[in-house]
Amino acid sequence: MPLATKAAGRDSLSAGIQHHLRYSVGSWSGIPSKHDILQALAYTVRARLIDGLIATEERRRRCRAKRLVYLSAEFLIGQSLRNNLFNLGLLEEAEEATRQLGFDLREIADTEADAPLGNGGLGRLAACFLESLATRGMPAYGFGINYQFGLFKQEIDDGFQKEKADQWLSDNSPWLIERSAETCTIPLYGRIEHELAKDGTYNPMWVDWQIILGVPYDLPVVGFGGHTVNYLRLYSARASDEFDMKIFNGGDYLRAVENKIKMETVSKVLYPSDTAPAGKELRLVQEYFMVACALRDAVRDFHRENPGGSMERLHDSVTFQMNDTHPSLVVAELMRILVDEHAMAWEAAWTVTQAACAYTNHTLLPEALENWPVDLLDRVLPRHLQLIYEINRRFLARVEEKFPGDWARSERMSIIGESGQQAVRMANLAIVGSHSVNGVAALHSQLIKTRLVPDFYALWPERFNNKTNGVTHRRWLACCNPSLAELITRSIGDGWITKFAAIRSLEVQASEEAFQQEFLRIKRENKIQLATLIYDTEQVRVDPNSLFDVQVKRIHEYKRQLLNAMYVMHSYLGLVDEGWKPVVPRTHIFAGKGAPGYTMAKLIIKLINNIALIVNKDPRTNGVMKVVFMRNYRVSLAEKIIPAADLSEQISTAGMEASGTGNMKFAMNGALTIGTLDGANVEILEEVGADNIHIFGIKAEEIEVRRNSYDPFDCYHASRGIRRVLDALRDDRFCPGEPGLFQPIIDSLLHGGDPYFHLADFDSYVAAQQRVSSGFQNVPAWACKAILNVARSGKFTSDRAVSEYAKDIWGIKSMTG
Ligand code: 26Q
């Protein structure tokens, strides 16, 4: 019998749901649960996606189009149902179909668990890019790891963060399609046998390696309009049966099982830190596993599509984009494949590698750069270490040519660094092995050149470029804020959904009273919904008329949630001790996870929770202020919080936040930013204009200058406000039953030199907050500014970002015109 080739997806959604309720979910009697409906609807949508995948793949083959392989250790997908329905144009039909079954689509969609395969900004950026690339009809694919445990679930116990494993449906999600036939085999460990070839040349052999299997799972990524369905390919690690059988036949059954377990740990868990921690072997293996699987896939495709073709033109078929240094072993693995497996000459292989690879940097903190100890690499990937030495030898010869005798420079630029122990500097490897190095906001890209790697910039200025981040406005405005989306469409048509620059035509509405009224009504409605959620999850009653002041993001000292917390304490102490009357009532909303091993981040979470408890139970704060820490921040929670925000807190120490992307999401939903001149805030200021944003604080260059002479005690003595807050902390006013609990915070701020300049920026921050409060009193003026933020957020769509990458770096084109 021939294989079914008919597109399955043309039956109605209702028919599909009925079919899948019976045959996929196995529910045939009684009333199906919300979860049953979710599953059945997801399976119905999955069939449509598969039709799209097949059609897109055929189109790509026919065009022989160059493609992008986006390599990332993280893809923070969140929920999929609503966005898939939206992009397929099926939202209304799905609403009707679920209504007929007695359910509300919103409730069904809310039941879906997030796919938590990322820590924060970097992982979410990768997910936004895939959606924009599909919408633009680009042949672009994500490659990563199918972690069985994604980022931990955050519980709050007595104000402290507790981590719980989040076992999402890595092998049973309706969105994942297992592709066992494309399984690949990855060697690891082993040793090098130093041999000479017949002609006397050195011919090292990598022997005695172990094998891991990479089983791909594809998550379809549909673009708006449904014309293009690309995929994100996530690999699960499995033990090889063949390898097990060898041990097993040797009679050692238990060793065979142990080995299987060991191999399968490779894709077990996502590392929950968003800065590079001390080099852990498992993480290194993960990074190699992902890269090795992706390359095998690319090479196999190349041979399928260019039978007999020479790999010397590989870079005409594919570009490998490294999302930070996590996939930077791609440089060594590609060289190994070309030189060892395809017997290509070194120079030719190097030309291909550099032309095929590109690197995006996401951090300016030197301590967050990845370094892998040489001994560890030697044990796990001995052949790759050899290749890295050879890459480095040739590279340093170039440096010596250009800067003869400058040993200090060579030391700084060397791929192998010497600080305590010898280690491979992955950023240096990524820069040397790429034809493009980009930062993620204008300021960040500038600081890469002047502060992070000036020596590399001096050698290869043409390699460095900027690609300011963006977010998909379909998820972050159209889907998560449907009422505002509808108002926009009523006013300017629906062109903005695919051409977000068109959002600017809203500008003229900003000062129209009727439009302002509508805008404010929607904002208020979103705030009421969030207030209900806050009550349901945190049992705190908040007033939708108050100013919703929001800081939601990973908890980090450089992001300065502590500065915000200090302002909250300042307001509270002013109210209860000094009798200040606040200008407007505020609700201070926080959410975010701290890395499990990051003690200070976890103490800041505890501080915010203690402040919330004390402020919220004090009758003197009634009707004036509330503080909430919402637990378990994740994509789906962000989608509820952001549309309800009035004020977006983007207050990192200048020069430390590479870009930020939350800042963009808030602006497009009509929140005003209070922020430092850091990351993309600088560009948000440029776009929205100084009247429509609240900028404060020391600038990046000044921070650099002041770092040597800064004494936080000077600020303490000079500022009444700082003293009031720190003295209250010292006197345990925010931890009455837990004396000394927050001493480490005081120590860091005063005796530890306040490396993040909280005290230096405090007074300027308070002054900016005062401007915010008085601004909020003037309702029409505030609405006008908020609307202008929406209207002027056009630059910050990831559609623009991926088009710039496609043109300047990847050399890929739309297949849909
Ligand atoms: C590295 C080695 C070992 C274990 C973990 C890691 C690791 C994991 C995640 C290191 C860093 C990350 C994530 C970094 C991140 O999210 N950076 C953010 O990227 C955003 C997108 O460009 C920017 O907007 C943010 O400014 C940046 O902080």
Give the tens place of pLDDT for each residue, 621-674: 999 999 999 999 999 999 999 999 999 999 999 999 999 999 999 999 999 999
Mean pLDDT within 513-517: 98
CA distances from 455 to 41, 71, 116 (A): 55, 26, 38
For the four alpha carbons of 516, 521, 527 and 530, in that order, the dihedral sign comes to negative
Catalytic residues: 362, 553-554, 559, 661, 665
pLDDT score for 1: 41
Ligand 1 pocket residue status of 187, Cβ below 6 Å: no
How many angstroms from the chain centroid is the CA of residue 776? 32
Strand-pairing partners, residue 357, are 320
Share of residues in the chain with pLDDT > 90 (%): 90
Take residue 369 and report the two structure tokens written for it: 């750069």
Residues whose CB falls within 8 Å of the CB of residue 791, separated by 6 or more in sequence, listed in order: 503, 504, 505, 506, 507, 509, 510
* pLDDT grade for 244, boundaries at 50, 70 and 90: low
Q: What is the pLDDT of residue 200?
A: 85
Whether 126 is in the pocket of ligand 1, judged by its Cβ within 6 Å, is no
CA of 171 relative to ligand 1 center, distance in Å: 26
Q: Answer whether 753 contacts ligand 1 (Cβ < 6 A).
A: no
Atom of ligand 1 nearest to the CA of 440: 22
Q: How many Å apart are CA 399 and CA 334, to the nearest integer?
A: 23
Cβ of residue 122 lying under 6 Å from some atom of ligand 1: yes
Query: What's residue 10's pLDDT?
Result: 66
Section 501-510 average pLDDT: 98
More confident residue, 10 or 38: 38
Range 555-580 average pLDDT:
98
659 lines ligand 1 (CB under 6 A): yes
Tell me how far the alpha carbon of residue 163 lies from the centroid of ligand 1, in angstroms: 20
Mutating to test ligand 1, I would choose from 275, 468, 553, 663 the residue with most ligand atoms within 8 A of its C-beta, which is 275
- Encoding tokens for residue 325? 């240094």
Reported as a single tens digit per residue, the pLDDT across 93-119 is 999 999 999 999 999 999 999 999 999
Query: Helices (H) and strands (E) in the chain — how many of each?
Result: 33, 25
What is the model's pLDDT at position 249?
Answer: 72
Of 220, 235, 280, nearest to 73 by C-alpha is 235
Give residue-wise pLDDT tens across range 722-740: 999 999 999 999 999 999 9
Digit-coded pLDDT (tens) for 377-391: 999 999 999 999 999
**DSSP helix/strand/coil, 658:** coil
Q: Under a CB-based contact definition with an 8 Å cutoff, are residues 725 and 571 in contact?
A: no
Q: Quick check: 326 and 288 in contact, CB under 8 A?
A: no
Helix (H) or strand (E) holding 637: helix 635-641
Question: DSSP for 317-330?
Answer: HEEEEEESSTTTTH
- Mean pLDDT over all residues of the chain? 96
- Residue pair 286/267 in contact (Cβ under 8 Å)? The answer is yes
pLDDT at 9 over 60: no
| 119 alpha carbon – ligand 1 mean position (Å) | 7
pLDDT the model gives residue 257? 84
pLDDT band at 7 (very low <50, low <70, confident <90, very high): low
Nearest CA to ligand 1 atom 25: 660
Q: Nearest C-alpha to atom 6 of ligand 1 is from which residue?
A: 276
Residue 75: pLDDT above 60?
Answer: yes
Strand partners, 69: 141, 320
Closest atom of ligand 1 to CA, residue 283 = 3
List the one residue out of 176, 72, 47 whose CA is nearest residue 133. Answer: 72
The answer to whether the CB of 588 is under 6 A from ligand 1 is: no
Residue 757 is predicted with a pLDDT of 98
625-630 and 586-591 as β-strands: parallel, antiparallel, unpaired? Answer: parallel
Contact 352, 321 (CB under 8 A): no
269: pLDDT strictly greater than 80: yes
Which amino acid is it at 288?
Answer: Y
In which element (H, E) is residue 525 found? helix 513-538
Answer for the pair 152, 596: CB distance below 8 angstroms, yes or no: yes
Closest CA to 661 of 794, 769, 553: 553
Burial class (CB in 10 A: 0-12, 13-18, 19+), 514: exposed
- Ligand 1 atom at minimum distance from 680 CA: 24
Question: 375: which 2 tokens?
Answer: 């001994």
Nearest to 451 by CA among 700, 731, 630: 700
Per-residue DSSP letter, 372: E
pLDDT in tens, 385-443: 999 999 999 999 999 999 999 999 999 999 999 878 999 999 999 999 999 999 999 99
β 177-178/210-222 pair status: antiparallel
CA distance 404 to 513: 68
Rg value, the chain, Cα = 27
Counting Cα atoms < 13 Å in the Cβ hemisphere of 383 gives: 26
Residue 352 pLDDT > 80, yes or no?
yes
3-state secondary structure of 157: strand
The answer to whether the pTM exceeds 0.95 is yes
How close is the Cα of 792 to the center of ligand 1, in Å?
27
At residue 663, the pLDDT reads 98
Instruction: Report the separation in Å between the CA atom of 498 and the middle of ligand 1, taken as the mean of its atom positions.
Output: 28
Reported as half-sphere exposure (CB side, CA atoms, 13 A), residue 440 has a value of 28
- Nearest CA to 232 among 190, 177, 195? 177
CB-based contacts of 6-12 (< 8 A; 24+ apart in sequence): 7/51, 8/47, 8/50, 8/51, 9/47, 9/48, 9/50, 9/51, 12/93, 12/97
CA of 465 to the centre of ligand 1 (A): 19
Residue of the CA atom closest to atom 1 of ligand 1: 276
More confident site: 590 or 274:
590
Å from CA of 365 to ligand 1 middle: 11
Alpha-carbon distances of 699 from 471, 721, 760, rounded to whole Å: 25, 22, 11
Residue 466: CB within 6 Å of ligand 1?
A: no
CA distances to 321, 476, 688, 772 from 787, in Å: 36, 16, 10, 16
**Tokens (6 digits) for 745:** 């915070």
Beta-ladder partners of 626: 587
Q: Which of 466, 467, 508 is nearest to 491 (CA)?
A: 508
Better-predicted residue by pLDDT, 33 or 203: 33
20 lines ligand 1 (CB under 6 A): no
Nearest-CA neighbor of 599 among 749, 459, 744, 397?
744
Nearest CA to ligand 1 atom 2: 276
Q: Give alpha helix (H) positions in 187-345.
A: 241-249, 253-264, 281-305, 314-317, 330-336
Ligand 1, atom nearest to 125 Cα: 21
Q: Measuring from atom 8 of ligand 1, which residue has the nearest CA?
A: 274
- Give the residue ranges of DSSP H helices in 145-201: none
